[in-house]
Amino acid sequence: MKTRRITRERLVPHTMDGRTRMVPDEETIEVPLPPRDWDQIGLNVVTAIVALALLGCVGFSTASIGDLLNRVTPAAAAYGAAALFDLVWIGCTIIEWLGRYTPDRVRKARVGGYLSLAVAMGAVAAHGWIFGNAATGLVGAAVSGLAKGLWAVVLDYQAVPLGKRDAAFLQQELAEAAVELSRVPVRRRVNRARALAEAERIALEADRGSADPDRPDESADDPDADVLAIRPGAVSTKDAVRIAWDSGIRDDGEAVRYVAKATGKAPSPDTVARYMRLLRKVAG
């Protein structure tokens, strides 16, 4: 059995002058090596081959289709669009890989990948045919087909078929995770809407409270709701200001004189002016 030497640190007792302490010490030991995983090594090699095949495929197809499109469009636009021919089916194949344990969810990606592959191969073949070398076009088109085929073989090897119960279990797990994830933006929108509604409520209450002020700086002639009026039929300063406003009085001085006459006592000019400002704000 093959082994390898490793050095590790441990605490050991060490005594000096009759006192013992645990101090770090290094020791070298040999541990057995696990057997080489040839299956994983082979899979890694195949994966590297697939990566190289994709690079070669994209490079050749981009050059071929780009040269074809360059006859009618600028080079930058032509080669940029040419790269999409292979990138589309490569993207669909990546979706297949991500959903290899839930094949029903990637059926569209599988179909779209093969359709886009057929379009890319047809474009490469058309390039060879237009330039008078059909054989070169067919061989070039086969490059994309071989790359896609190799990737499909690796994908089928990795995607172990699942039983109906196992597949249903995974579908429920994904559904629950999707619900939790979808609640994040929904909760954010709900909180934002509630915050806006609360801000509007506070603003409206503040505005309503200013229309009927009950502040410490008010004059003593303003009636208090908790105190019974001495004269049950007398009007308050607020009511008198409202009556003056409805009568067409807009000057604060005239309003003060009217309130004094209506209530039988001199009101606070500041209170009358505040009520007049609020009435102007409501009317304006």
Domain finish residue from 165, 182, 197: 165
* 208 domain residue, yes or no: no
Could you say which of 165, 195, 228 is where a domain stops? 165
pLDDT computed for residue 206 by the predictor:
66
Residue 225 has pLDDT above 50, yes or no: no
Asked if 28 and 55 sit in the same domain, the reply is no
Inter-helix orientation angle 107-130/134-158, to 10°: 160
Same domain, yes or no: 18 and 43: no
| Confidence (pLDDT) at 122 | 92
Cα 83 to chain centroid distance, Å, stands at 29
Please report the pLDDT score of residue 91 as a whole number. Answer: 92
Per-residue pLDDT of 22-59, as tens digits, reads 999 888 888 888 888 888 899 889 989 988 988 888 99
pLDDT (tens digit per residue) in 275-284: 888 888 877 6
Task: State which of 132, 165, 198 marks the end of a domain.
Answer: 165
- Based on the domain organization, do 255 and 233 belong to the same domain? yes
In a domain, 197, yes or no: no
Average pLDDT, whole number, for the chain?
82
Tell me how crowded residue 171 is: count the other CB atoms within 10 A of its CB: 14
Phi and psi at 21, nearest 5°, equal -135, 155
List, in order, residues 6 or more apart from 270 with CB less than 8 Å away: 217, 219
Residues 26 and 66 in one domain: no
67 and 149, same structural domain? yes
> DSSP string spanning 90-139?
HHHHHHHHHTTT-GGGGHHHHHHHHHHHHHHHHHHHHHHHHTT-HHHHHH
- In this structure, how many other beta carbons lie within 10 angstroms of the beta carbon of residue 44? 11
Residue 53 and residue 128 in one domain: yes
**Token representation of residue 217:** 């700086």
- The answer to whether the Cα torsion of 69, 70, 74, 79 is positive or negative is positive
Nearest to 244 by CA among 230, 268, 236: 236
At residue 266 the predicted structure's pLDDT band, cuts being 50, 70 and 90, is: confident
Quote the CA–CA distance of 155 and 177 in Å, as a whole number. Answer: 25
Residues 160 and 221 in one domain: no
> pLDDT tens digits, residue range 97-120?
888 887 778 889 989 999 999 999
The residue segments making up the domain with residue 282 are 214-284
Same domain for 54 and 110, yes or no, is: yes
Residues 160 and 243 in one domain: no
Count the neighbouring beta carbons within 10 Å of the beta carbon of residue 244: 24
The verdict on 148 and 50 lying in the same domain is yes
Secondary structure letter of residue 55 according to DSSP: H
- Does residue 42 share a domain with residue 11? no
- Looking at the structure, tell me whether residues 156 and 234 fall in a common domain: no
pTM exceeding 0.85: no
Count structural domains, the chain: 3
